[in-house]
Amino acid sequence: MFTGIVEAVGQVVALEPKSGDLRLRIKTGKLELQDVKLGDSIATNGVCLTVIELPGDGYWADVSVETIANTTIGHWSVGRKVNLEKAMMPTSRLGGHIVSGHVDGVGTIVGRHSDARAERFRVQAPAELAKYIAHKGSITVDGTSLTVNAVAGAEFELAIVPHTLAETIFAGYQVGSEVNLEVDIIARYLERLLLGEQAAKPDGGSIDLAFLAENGFYRGDR
Protein backbone atom coordinates (compact mmCIF):
# COMPACT_ATOMS: atom_id res chain seq x y z
CA MET A 1 0.00 0.00 0.00
CA PHE A 2 1.01 3.61 -0.61
CA THR A 3 -0.05 7.11 0.44
CA GLY A 4 0.20 8.96 -2.87
CA ILE A 5 2.86 11.29 -1.48
CA VAL A 6 5.61 11.24 -4.12
CA GLU A 7 9.09 10.81 -2.64
CA ALA A 8 11.22 11.36 -5.72
CA VAL A 9 11.21 11.75 -9.49
CA GLY A 10 13.03 8.98 -11.31
CA GLN A 11 13.79 8.19 -14.92
CA VAL A 12 13.29 5.23 -17.23
CA VAL A 13 16.77 4.17 -18.37
CA ALA A 14 16.03 0.80 -20.00
CA LEU A 15 13.07 -1.02 -21.54
CA GLU A 16 13.59 -4.65 -22.55
CA PRO A 17 10.85 -6.69 -24.28
CA LYS A 18 10.68 -10.15 -22.70
CA SER A 19 8.61 -12.88 -24.44
CA GLY A 20 5.59 -10.64 -24.92
CA ASP A 21 5.85 -8.54 -21.78
CA LEU A 22 8.46 -6.08 -20.50
CA ARG A 23 11.33 -5.55 -18.11
CA LEU A 24 12.28 -2.00 -17.21
CA ARG A 25 14.97 -0.24 -15.25
CA ILE A 26 14.31 2.91 -13.27
CA LYS A 27 17.00 5.29 -12.04
CA THR A 28 15.66 6.56 -8.75
CA GLY A 29 17.41 9.91 -8.22
CA LYS A 30 17.07 11.08 -4.60
CA LEU A 31 14.92 8.12 -3.51
CA GLU A 32 16.64 6.36 -0.61
CA LEU A 33 17.21 2.68 -1.42
CA GLN A 34 19.09 1.53 1.71
CA ASP A 35 15.93 -0.02 3.16
CA VAL A 36 14.72 -1.52 -0.14
CA LYS A 37 15.25 -5.23 -0.77
CA LEU A 38 14.37 -7.65 -3.54
CA GLY A 39 10.63 -8.30 -3.63
CA ASP A 40 9.70 -4.89 -2.23
CA SER A 41 7.15 -2.71 -4.01
CA ILE A 42 7.72 0.76 -5.46
CA ALA A 43 4.90 2.81 -6.98
CA THR A 44 6.13 4.03 -10.37
CA ASN A 45 3.76 6.63 -11.81
CA GLY A 46 1.15 5.00 -9.62
CA VAL A 47 1.86 1.44 -10.77
CA CYS A 48 2.90 -0.98 -8.02
CA LEU A 49 6.06 -2.69 -9.33
CA THR A 50 8.08 -5.42 -7.63
CA VAL A 51 11.84 -4.89 -7.34
CA ILE A 52 13.70 -7.80 -8.96
CA GLU A 53 17.22 -6.29 -9.12
CA LEU A 54 18.99 -3.48 -7.29
CA PRO A 55 21.93 -2.25 -9.38
CA GLY A 56 22.74 0.54 -6.90
CA ASP A 57 21.26 3.62 -8.54
CA GLY A 58 17.78 2.25 -9.07
CA TYR A 59 15.87 -0.95 -9.68
CA TRP A 60 14.66 -3.39 -12.32
CA ALA A 61 11.05 -4.58 -12.47
CA ASP A 62 9.01 -6.95 -14.64
CA VAL A 63 5.78 -5.63 -16.18
CA SER A 64 3.01 -8.06 -17.12
CA VAL A 65 0.83 -7.95 -20.23
CA GLU A 66 -2.12 -6.96 -17.98
CA THR A 67 -0.24 -3.94 -16.63
CA ILE A 68 0.97 -2.88 -20.08
CA ALA A 69 -2.60 -2.99 -21.39
CA ASN A 70 -4.18 -1.00 -18.55
CA THR A 71 -1.57 1.69 -17.80
CA THR A 72 0.58 4.17 -19.70
CA ILE A 73 3.65 1.90 -19.46
CA GLY A 74 3.07 0.55 -22.95
CA HIS A 75 3.88 4.03 -24.31
CA TRP A 76 6.94 4.72 -22.17
CA SER A 77 10.36 5.33 -23.70
CA VAL A 78 13.88 5.71 -22.33
CA GLY A 79 14.30 9.11 -20.70
CA ARG A 80 10.73 9.40 -19.43
CA LYS A 81 10.44 10.87 -15.92
CA VAL A 82 8.30 9.04 -13.37
CA ASN A 83 6.91 9.67 -9.87
CA LEU A 84 8.26 7.27 -7.23
CA GLU A 85 7.03 6.19 -3.81
CA LYS A 86 8.15 3.26 -1.67
CA ALA A 87 5.50 1.12 0.00
CA MET A 88 4.30 2.63 3.26
CA MET A 89 5.38 1.30 6.64
CA PRO A 90 2.93 0.63 9.51
CA THR A 91 4.39 3.66 11.26
CA SER A 92 4.13 5.99 8.24
CA ARG A 93 2.00 9.11 8.29
CA LEU A 94 -0.92 8.79 5.89
CA GLY A 95 -0.34 12.20 4.34
CA GLY A 96 -2.39 11.47 1.22
CA HIS A 97 -4.98 8.67 1.11
CA ILE A 98 -4.94 4.88 0.85
CA VAL A 99 -3.45 3.97 -2.54
CA SER A 100 -3.11 0.38 -3.75
CA GLY A 101 -0.91 0.97 -6.79
CA HIS A 102 -3.46 -0.87 -8.97
CA VAL A 103 -4.31 1.48 -11.83
CA ASP A 104 -8.02 1.65 -12.77
CA GLY A 105 -7.59 3.35 -16.13
CA VAL A 106 -5.76 5.89 -18.24
CA GLY A 107 -6.89 9.52 -18.34
CA THR A 108 -5.93 12.41 -20.63
CA ILE A 109 -5.00 15.99 -19.77
CA VAL A 110 -7.52 18.13 -21.67
CA GLY A 111 -6.84 21.54 -20.17
CA ARG A 112 -4.20 23.50 -18.27
CA HIS A 113 -4.01 27.09 -17.09
CA SER A 114 -2.36 29.17 -14.37
CA ASP A 115 -4.28 30.15 -11.25
CA ALA A 116 -2.12 32.55 -9.18
CA ARG A 117 0.91 30.39 -8.19
CA ALA A 118 -0.91 27.12 -8.82
CA GLU A 119 -1.67 25.32 -12.06
CA ARG A 120 -5.15 24.05 -12.90
CA PHE A 121 -5.46 20.82 -14.85
CA ARG A 122 -8.57 19.26 -16.40
CA VAL A 123 -8.45 15.50 -16.83
CA GLN A 124 -10.72 13.32 -18.95
CA ALA A 125 -11.26 9.97 -17.22
CA PRO A 126 -12.62 6.81 -18.84
CA ALA A 127 -16.43 6.90 -18.72
CA GLU A 128 -16.63 3.81 -16.51
CA LEU A 129 -14.64 5.56 -13.76
CA ALA A 130 -16.78 8.72 -13.61
CA LYS A 131 -19.07 7.33 -10.89
CA TYR A 132 -16.11 6.96 -8.51
CA ILE A 133 -14.87 10.56 -8.87
CA ALA A 134 -16.46 13.00 -6.43
CA HIS A 135 -16.11 16.73 -5.78
CA LYS A 136 -13.56 17.16 -2.95
CA GLY A 137 -12.88 13.43 -3.04
CA SER A 138 -9.47 11.83 -3.52
CA ILE A 139 -7.91 10.49 -6.70
CA THR A 140 -4.45 9.28 -7.62
CA VAL A 141 -2.88 10.67 -10.80
CA ASP A 142 0.43 9.06 -11.82
CA GLY A 143 0.90 8.05 -8.19
CA THR A 144 0.14 11.48 -6.72
CA SER A 145 -2.67 11.76 -4.16
CA LEU A 146 -4.85 14.73 -5.11
CA THR A 147 -8.15 16.40 -4.22
CA VAL A 148 -10.79 16.73 -6.93
CA ASN A 149 -11.75 20.41 -7.17
CA ALA A 150 -14.57 20.10 -9.69
CA VAL A 151 -16.37 17.38 -11.65
CA ALA A 152 -18.28 17.59 -14.94
CA GLY A 153 -19.29 14.22 -16.30
CA ALA A 154 -16.12 12.18 -16.75
CA GLU A 155 -13.92 15.29 -16.56
CA PHE A 156 -12.44 16.52 -13.30
CA GLU A 157 -10.26 19.44 -12.27
CA LEU A 158 -7.15 19.60 -10.08
CA ALA A 159 -5.30 22.54 -8.54
CA ILE A 160 -1.58 21.77 -8.30
CA VAL A 161 0.38 23.92 -5.83
CA PRO A 162 4.03 24.99 -6.44
CA HIS A 163 5.50 22.31 -4.14
CA THR A 164 3.72 19.50 -6.00
CA LEU A 165 4.76 20.99 -9.36
CA ALA A 166 8.39 21.00 -8.19
CA GLU A 167 8.45 17.53 -6.62
CA THR A 168 6.47 15.52 -9.19
CA ILE A 169 6.24 15.25 -12.99
CA PHE A 170 3.14 17.47 -13.16
CA ALA A 171 5.10 20.46 -14.49
CA GLY A 172 5.75 18.53 -17.71
CA TYR A 173 2.12 17.69 -18.47
CA GLN A 174 0.57 19.25 -21.56
CA VAL A 175 -2.82 18.91 -23.21
CA GLY A 176 -2.87 15.37 -24.59
CA SER A 177 -0.60 13.85 -21.93
CA GLU A 178 -1.84 10.47 -20.71
CA VAL A 179 -1.87 9.69 -16.98
CA ASN A 180 -2.51 6.65 -14.80
CA LEU A 181 -5.63 6.98 -12.64
CA GLU A 182 -6.56 5.12 -9.46
CA VAL A 183 -9.91 5.99 -7.91
CA ASP A 184 -10.56 5.99 -4.17
CA ILE A 185 -10.51 2.36 -3.06
CA ILE A 186 -13.26 3.05 -0.48
CA ALA A 187 -15.66 4.00 -3.30
CA ARG A 188 -14.99 0.70 -5.05
CA TYR A 189 -15.59 -1.38 -1.90
CA LEU A 190 -18.72 0.62 -1.07
CA GLU A 191 -20.18 -0.14 -4.50
CA ARG A 192 -19.46 -3.86 -4.04
CA LEU A 193 -21.00 -3.90 -0.55
CA LEU A 194 -24.16 -2.16 -1.77
CA LEU A 195 -24.63 -4.89 -4.37
CA GLY A 196 -24.91 -7.48 -1.62
CA GLU A 197 -25.98 -10.86 -3.02
CA GLN A 198 -26.09 -9.44 -6.56
CA ALA A 199 -22.28 -9.31 -6.47
CA ALA A 200 -22.24 -13.11 -6.82
CA LYS A 201 -24.06 -13.02 -10.16
CA PRO A 202 -21.98 -13.88 -13.25
CA ASP A 203 -22.21 -10.29 -14.54
CA GLY A 204 -21.46 -8.86 -11.09
CA GLY A 205 -24.77 -7.03 -10.90
CA SER A 206 -25.14 -3.27 -11.22
CA ILE A 207 -26.42 -0.32 -9.24
CA ASP A 208 -29.18 1.47 -11.14
CA LEU A 209 -32.47 3.17 -10.21
CA ALA A 210 -34.29 -0.17 -10.12
CA PHE A 211 -31.71 -1.59 -7.72
CA LEU A 212 -31.87 1.51 -5.48
CA ALA A 213 -35.68 1.41 -5.40
CA GLU A 214 -35.74 -2.31 -4.60
CA ASN A 215 -33.39 -1.80 -1.67
CA GLY A 216 -35.11 1.28 -0.24
CA PHE A 217 -32.59 3.91 -1.38
CA TYR A 218 -34.84 5.61 -3.94
CA ARG A 219 -38.52 6.49 -4.33
CA GLY A 220 -39.59 7.65 -7.78
CA ASP A 221 -42.55 9.64 -6.37
CA ARG A 222 -40.32 12.10 -4.52
With respect to residue 125, please indicate whether it lies within any of the assigned structural domains: yes
Q: What's the mean per-residue pLDDT of the chain?
A: 91
With respect to residue 162, please indicate whether it lies within any of the assigned structural domains: yes
Q: From 86, 120, 145, give the residue that closes a domain.
A: 86
Q: Which of 4, 198, 177 is nearest to 84 (CA)?
A: 4
Q: How confident is the model at residue 202 (pLDDT cuts 50, 70, 90)?
A: confident
Q: Do 63 and 124 lie in a common domain?
A: no
In angstroms, the CA 124 to CA 194 distance is 27
Provide the strand spans (E) within 97-153.
Answer: 105-115, 118-124, 138-141, 144-147, 150-152
Q: Do 71 and 121 lie in a common domain?
A: no
**pTM for this predicted structure:** 0.88
Side by side, which strands form the sheet with 105-115? 144-147, 138-141, 178-183, 105-115, 118-124, 155-160, 150-152
Work out the average pLDDT over 59-75: 97
User: Which domain covers residue 48, as residue numbers?
Assistant: 8-86
For residue 94, the model assigns a pLDDT of 74
Which residues sit opposite 103 in a β-bridge?
Answer: none
